[in-house]
Structure 1
Amino acid sequence: MSWTNFLLALFGGVICWVAWIALAGATRTEPVVISTGSEQGIYFQVGKEIGDSYMNRHPEIRCEVIPSEGSRENVTRLQDGTADVAIVQNDAVADERVRSLAILYTEVLHLVCRKDAGIECLNDLADHPTNLGSLSGGTHPLVEALLQFSRVEIPAEHQQNLGFAQSAEALRSGDLDAAFFLVGLGSEIIEKLIASPEFQLVPIQIRAMEGEATFISERAFIDGFRTHYPHAKVAEIPLMSYEGSPITPTPSVGIGAVLACSADWDEELANDLVETIFAHRAVLGRKISLLSGLDEQSSQAQLQFPLHRGAEAYFRRNEPGFLAQNAESIGVLITVALLLASGLHGIKKWIDQRRKNRVDVYYGRVQHILDSIGHQRVSDFGAALRDLEAIESTTCQELIEERLDADHSFVILQNMINRCRAEIERAETAAKGD
């Protein structure tokens, strides 16, 4: 085979290999499991829209959106590795295996009551059958902490722990007088309940004194509650949020709904997912109104779980780099280094000059011996050789002690000493011959 054919075959092989790698990369799939909530709930809708946007932006990614019973189960899935991404409440109990990607929206606590029950605040719940939320969901821990803070005791026989759908049915059937729902504003289940004249939204508030019709300031009440439950937020159900209801803004308490992931999830995938959410927020907001308020600043504020490295890289992408942040300090260090280098250079020149001056002294002494050779008697040549040996010995010692440099000047000195020794020996021989 000629060299030309060999090179052509090699080139063709490289092209095929590159094409195979590119094709393999294009068809590669990365399964991303997103754990959400019930298929009728907002968690599932949000998770599905985010997963679809992610796959549209990154065709090589395959997302699997799976339902769950709520925030608690989602946390469990992140911790045991059966889900990569999940929607959880910012107050969820989790360990170091869970990381935050972004706060998506605020879930607001809705207290839906039968109008004929006469419930006006949390204090009135003590005598009424009330649903506190499913034990596997996120409503129950918040409600339990809120009632404990308010010192409202509901007898055990009046407490129920039903899911949202079962709770709504129990309200309609009259088995419940009140039920808590921690959901996003505009929730379909609340919409359907409030559409009936039988039900109303009751503010999250308490009476100033037992038996009176005055209430503690809602803001002051929630701020006090936050000292015990720091991830809660002051929230409000806006006027006419549900087809004409409520007729006045209804104070409440809220919790951030967080898109979370496992701590060991791929950093690049996490960065791409967060980037996708904010790149598609206009589209996401049109499909799900709760996501219309997506904002990079608020999405990373007051997170319980630390940001995942990939999400942090996205949020910090526009921050100046190390050199820009420390330009002034680096400039000072460079100036100091230059001044130090200049000073050291000056010291070196001074030391070199001193050593040069010392060599010049020995040049003079050797030259003096050379100049005196023609005027000496035979008996003086021995003294001249001893002087020359003394110079040689001294210069060697100073070389060892680094008071002289083994440079070109020292070589010249050694050559002068050797030449002087040869001249003395030649003169001494000639004088003896005469």
Structure 2
Amino acid sequence: MSNIRKFTRFSFPDLVAATGPTVILIAALCALAYVMVDPTPPRQVSLATGQENSAYEEFGKKYAAALAKHGIKVTLQPSLGSQENLERLKDGTVDIAFVQSGGSTEQAGGERKGLVSLGSLFTEPVWLFMREPVAVTHIADLKGKRINLGPEGTGVPKLFRQVLELNGVDPGTLIIGGLENTPATVELLEGRIDALVFSSGPEALLVQMLLQTPGIKLFDFSQAEAYTRRMPFVSHVVLPRGIVDVGRDLPAQDYHLIAPTATLVARDDLHPALVDLFVQAASSIHGAPGWFQQQGQFPSPKFTEIPVAREAQKFYKDGPPLLQRYMSFWMANLLDRMWVLVVALAALWIPLSKVVPPLYVWRIRSRVYRWYGQLRTVEQELDAAPHEGKAQVCAALLKRLDEIEDRVNQISIPLAFADALYGLRSHINFVRQRVRHAMNVEGRGKEARPEVAADGGTAAPGAAV
């Protein structure tokens, strides 16, 4: 039974030895492709928001909550505003940030800085709040007034200076302050400044509070449409009468405002999967109707000077990735990345599959063929043996052939290659017969040769000496 087991359908050790290096090579290259071609999305990302109580801050919290559902930690980094956020993106200290449209985000500049847009999110009007006794109906009426434009990092000072320039007002004729929004609001309520300018979405707590504060009046940009023609990055929006509180009729009239657009901007090396997540989060956070927008108007690839990321464009055209509609983010991302492995496997397995079968066959047959070297050695020793003592050489060769045959009989070989094994055994027997024949010839030669007498003559057979 043990001899029968030596014949199998295939040799598993030889199969492993033949395919092992190939499998290891393919696995190593696939792992390299898995890591290098499409790395795993990072589980932490930094988002630059804005000042305290700003719309950027509020929306930043919503993004952090949305991505936390997928196991992504969003680290919120407060800032002065849009301009500072752009600087942080350029420096690489944040991965993604809220940025206001305007001269600082021109398309050529955005490309040079290695930035991409994930789309515009909402309009953030320019709010000019004044104390009620201040009689300001035109921008030119602000001359000599104490007005806070906020820190330079917010982007509002640059924007409002453009507004002043369009109205022919020299900024030097105003007393301009640079406080952040919250302390500036306190100064306005205390009467230490006359007006406060900042840009934010209507969701900001300061906007909600000031619109309902007695004695505080909102400036009406009655020429808003003209501003949009002279400043292409702003749009004309209307704050409807009663939108704050219909029962109290707040505000008591429609207000025309100019509004740049808030944009989500990222570094161009942000992982594509995270771009998908942020755009999906933006769709759920900003897609509802609001004070200045209709259902589904935002997020949008429009109203942004910075080139829109390829993944974001695909989302706006086709919606979320197919797999992410039906499974978790990480599972969908894993399956997406598996395509990289499939391509790598196909590229490697097709040529290597032509190498492995011949290698397997060679390993099996070499187990048989290497004994032919031993047989050839036996034949060479037989041919080189001298006539005297050839019988002893033949006897030793026969013993070696018996040892070779015993070892050959221990070979385990698949049934498909049994013909090679039986062929080897027949050839061993062939060499054995040749050695025996040489031994027999030598024996007969000894019997046929006459014995030589002591005196040099030849004695007759059977004669007494």
Q: TM-score, normalised by structure 1?
A: 0.59
Alpha-carbon spacing, 1:152–1:314, altered in 2? closer, same or farther (3 Å) = same
CA contact (8 A) 2:161 2:171 kept: no
Q: 1:156 to 1:47 in 2, by over 3 A?
A: same
Return the offset for 1:138: 2.4
Is the counterpart of residue 102 in structure 1 residue 119 in structure 2? yes
- 1:182-225, Cα deviation, whole Å (9 max, x unpaired): 11124311232333322111212xxxxxxxxxxxxx3xx33433
Matches within 5 A, 1:346-425: none
CA deviation map 1:218-249 (0-9, x unaligned): 3xx33433343210111222223334432001
Higher relative contact order (CA 8 A, sep 6+): 2
Q: Report if the CA contact (8 A) 1:284-1:291 is conserved.
A: no
Following TM superposition, by how much is the alpha carbon of 1:41 offset from its aligned partner in structure 2, in angstroms? Answer: 1.7
Q: Is the 8 A contact 1:193 1:199 kept in 2?
A: yes
How many correspondences in the alignment? 290
Contact 2:286–2:299, Cα closer than 8 Å, also in 1: no
| Partner residue in 2 for 1:66 | 77
On the 8 A contact 2:239/2:256 being kept in 1, the answer is: yes
Alpha-carbon offset, residue 157 of structure 1? 5.7
What runs of 5+ residues in structure 1 fail to find an aligned partner? 205-217, 319-434
User: Once the 2 structures are TM-superposed, how far is the Cα of residue 273 of structure 1 from its aligned partner?
Assistant: 2.2
Check 1:6–1:116 CA distance in 2 against 1; reply closer, same or farther (3 A cut): farther
Q: Secondary structure at the match of 2:253?
A: coil
Inter-partner Cα distance in structure 1 for 2:203 and 2:257: 15
Are residues 151 and 292 of structure 1, via their aligned partners in 2, closer, same or farther at CA, if it must alter by over 3 Å? closer
Q: Distance in 2 between matches of 1:195 and 1:75?
A: 33
- CA distance, structure 2, for counterparts of residue 234 and residue 292 of structure 1: 12
Q: Distance in 1 between matches of 2:85 and 2:256?
A: 28
* TM-superposed deviation, 1:156: 4.8
- 1:233 matched residue in structure 2: 235
Q: Are 1:151 and 2:168 matched, yes or no? A: yes
> Shift of the alpha carbon at 1:284?
6.2
Note if 1:51 corresponds to 2:70: no
Q: Give the Cα separation in 2 of the matches to 1:34 and 1:277.
A: 13
What's the CA shift string for 1:107-151, capped at 9, x where partnerless? Answer: 011111111122223121113211223211022122111111011
Rg larger in structure: 2
Rate the CA distance shift 1:291–1:56 in 2: closer, same or farther, 3 A. farther
Deviations 1:25-45 (A, max 9, x none): 9x9843211111124221011
- 3-state SS of 2:153 partner: coil
* Residue of structure 1 equivalent to 2:300: 299
2 CA distance for matches of 1:81 and 1:124?
42
SS in 1 for 2:104: coil
Structure 1 pair 308–291 and aligned structure 2 pair: CA distance change class (3 A): farther
Choose from 275, 280, 286 the match for 2:280. Answer: 275
5+ residue gaps in structure 2? Answer: 1-9, 320-465
Letter in 2 for 1:256: T
Cα deviation, 1:38-97, whole Å, max 9, x if unaligned, reads 24221011122123212314x2x3321221111111111111111111111011514322
2:174 paired with 1:173? no
Q: 1:78 aligns with which of 64, 77, 89?
A: 89
CA contact (8 A) 1:201 1:246 kept: no
- 1:315-355 CA-to-partner distances (Å, cap 9, x unmatched) read 2337xxxxxxxxxxxxxxxxxxxxxxxxxxxxxxxxxxxxx
1:44 alignment partner AA: E
2:262 to 257, 262, 280: 257
Amino acid at match of 2:164: L
Residues 153-232 of structure 1 correspond to what in structure 2 (within 5 A)? 153-156=170-173, 158-204=175-221, 218=222, 221-232=223-234
Match of 1:127, SS state, is: coil
For residues 82 and 295 of structure 2, the distance between their equivalents in structure 1, rounded to whole angstroms, comes to: 20
Corresponding residue number in structure 2 for 1:423: none
Q: Secondary structure at the match of 2:128?
A: strand
Q: Which residue of the partner structure matches residue 116 of structure 1?
A: 133
Residue 99 of structure 1 and its aligned partner are, at CA, apart by 1.4
Tell me the residue number matched to 1:35: 48
After superposition, the Cα gap between the structure-2 partners of 1:28 and 1:80, relative to the gap in structure 1 and judged at 3 Å, is closer
TM-score by length of 2: 0.55
User: Relative to structure 1, is the Cα distance of residues 64 and 239 closer, same or farther in structure 2, using a 3 angstrom cutoff?
Assistant: same
Partner of 2:456: none
Assess if the C-alpha contact under 8 Å between 1:105 and 1:293 holds in 2.
no
CA distance in 1, matches of 2:57, 2:315: 25
